[in-house]
Amino acid sequence: MKSARVLAAIAGALALQTTLARYSIGGDTAVDLVLVVVVYVALAAGPVTGLLAGTAGGLAQDALGGGLVGVGGLAKTLVGFLVGVVGAQFIVAQPLSRFVVFFVATLLHAACFYGLYALIEPRGFPAVAVLTQALGNGIVGVAAFQVAGMLPGLAVARHRRQRFKRRS
């Protein structure tokens, strides 16, 4: 059941990312939703699940995005595993610490991605675009954790209200 939810989240992020890609400025996206899902899953479920989510999300994003298949997959796999290890070793429960993890994970992903591409065909490192994306990923990632934390409470409250209405 957990793997089905992870795959659904990756598919939803891919669908939303490809839909919003036409609104990007200069070809750079402000948020990498697939990376946000990978980091979220790695923090919530651990390094192995983060590794698998990174592999699936990265390869799917590579296949849909064109270019070399595998570069983004390898970068997201590495990030998913390392974030899962960090999440297992340290307490990453406050919004600021989660923001830092999302921010640093985006920088690590960009370093891996552009580093691998530099081995194949040299190109520049878009520092401003990467920092903007890291900021966007941090904000969206923290917001995702906040919304997910509120959802179980809302569902329980709604269930109690419905149960109370049936009794009266």
pLDDT computed for residue 162 by the predictor: 62
> DSSP for 139-159?
HHHHHHHHHHHHHHHHHHHHH
pLDDT computed for residue 25 by the predictor: 61
pLDDT tens for each residue of 38-62: 999 999 999 999 999 999 999 999 9
Per-position b or e across 62-71, b if 16+ CB within 10 A of its CB: beeeeeeeeb
pLDDT computed for residue 35 by the predictor: 97
pLDDT tens for each residue of 90-102: 989 899 999 999 9
Cα 46-96-145 angle, rounded to 5 deg: 50
Phi then psi dihedrals of residue 25, to 5 deg: -100, 120
> DSSP for 27-84?
TB-S--HHHHHHHHHHHHH-HHHHHHHHHHHHHHHHHHH-S-TTHHHHHHHHHHHHHH
As a whole number of angstroms, the distance between CA 20 and CA 41 comes to 22
Take residue 94 and report the two structure tokens written for it: 């406050």
Q: Are 105 and 39 in contact (CB under 8 A)?
A: yes
pLDDT computed for residue 160 by the predictor: 61
Residue ranges, the chain, pLDDT below 70: 1, 24-28, 153-168
pLDDT computed for residue 1 by the predictor: 42
Structural domains for the chain: 2-167 (1.10.1760)
3-state secondary structure of 25: strand
As a whole number of angstroms, the distance between CA 106 and CA 115 comes to 14
